[in-house]
Structure 1
């Protein structure tokens, strides 16, 4: 069983003005103590075709997560992506946008109801058979991720699944 389960990710203050900070509430459970902090990142994906345009908007270390004698090599284990639409509030500006964007007039709207979830297998506590990644899993209507997101070899159904 994986020691870290993401139970839910909620987007706060959406839609909001373009310049306002992105705010997420992340709920996770740690089934056992971890020897290292967990790193969480908010990444803006500039192009679905290439990671070259990805921008790390925020990175935070959370820990220590309650002490224990378990060891793992830090790797990305879950990615939650959202579709983002930036548009002018004023219909006139929408029809005839200025050559240089006027950020004070832009509004950001994130499709929070339809995140794209990809889970990556990592060996949390030693060698194991290669496990399949689960990609693009739809969330439950309340915004929480379905327990079925965790159904890959070696993960318990009580686990639920954020890039």
Structure 2
């Protein structure tokens, strides 16, 4: 269970000009006293083709954290235009709001951001050189993508298990009070449409199995017994040495088929941090 739960995020200046600051009102709940501060960070994705254009807009240290519900305002500078490819300045991109404790990220909120001109004339006929003061951004705040991670807090007891049990359904269930729970429920409902019950596809009875050519276990055992001689040996005279060598070769190839490759995306470089002191 997470010691800190994100309850809500409001984008205060939305829509806004491209050059305006990002302003978020963040509400979270802390269940126990923490020894360190929380580190909040806002990252702008400058290109969908490469993370080399990602920009860390600002970081903020919040603490000490009192137990209970807390609220604060996080302001971040707009992205540096020189670090954004001109052909990706307009259109849809993403901003990532993250929070970490003692260097361990435990929540990430992603928002789509639409950058477009504020006049229909420029939208229909965009100039070759972008007119920055005419570009307006719109953060799609009603559709956040929230991802949570289990981390170790102050005590060893809070550390996640090294080999946790397999619970594929656990990540699909969100607390109704947590931020983004409604959006996750909507995605779950969309994924559920058109799913076929495997039981409905199984043969209904023994007759159906026989029609589809599925042999019963008793019939397979009887067939094996017929192939064996009285002394318990099996007649393999019908198989040639070439057939046996081919079967052994297939088994050796099958043993080396599986190979897993794991690649991790590096995090963005950390920048200077500001700090907010929470009232006790």
**What range describes the TM-score normalised by the shorter chain of this pair?**
0.7 to 0.9
Pair 76,47 (structure 1): closer, same or farther in 2 beyond 3 Å: farther
Pair 12,148 (structure 1): closer, same or farther in 2 beyond 3 Å: closer
Number of aligned residue pairs: 141
Q: Give the distance between the partners of 1:73 and 1:111, measured in 2 at CA.
A: 30
Give the C-alpha shift of residue 14 in structure 1: 1.1
Per the alignment, residue 30 of structure 2 pairs with: 30
2:145–2:180 contact (8 Å) kept in structure 1:
no
1:78–1:120 contact (8 Å) kept in structure 2:
yes
After superposition, the CA RMSD in angstroms is 3.0
Q: Which residue, out of 95, 111, 116, partners 2:145?
A: 116
Per the alignment, residue 145 of structure 1 pairs with: 180
Per the alignment, residue 39 of structure 1 pairs with: 39
- The TM-score with structure 2 as length reference comes to 0.45
Give the C-alpha shift of residue 144 in structure 1: 4.0
Secondary structure, counterpart of 1:92 in structure 2: helix
2:6–2:179 contact (8 Å) kept in structure 1:
no
Give the C-alpha shift of residue 59 in structure 1: 0.6
User: Higher relative contact order by CA 8 Å / sep ≥ 6: 1 or 2?
Assistant: 1
Worse-matched range after superposition: 81-90 or 1-10: 1-10
- The TM-score with structure 1 as length reference comes to 0.73
Pair 110,148 (structure 1): closer, same or farther in 2 beyond 3 Å: closer
Please identify the structure whose Cα radius of gyration is greater: 2
Higher normalized helix content (fraction of residues): 2
Q: Give the distance between the partners of 1:83 and 1:97, measured in 2 at CA.
A: 22
5+ residue gaps, structure 1, are: 150-163
Q: Which residue, out of 103, 118, 135, partners 1:89?
A: 118
Q: Give the distance between the partners of 2:124 and 2:114, measured in 1 at CA.
A: 15
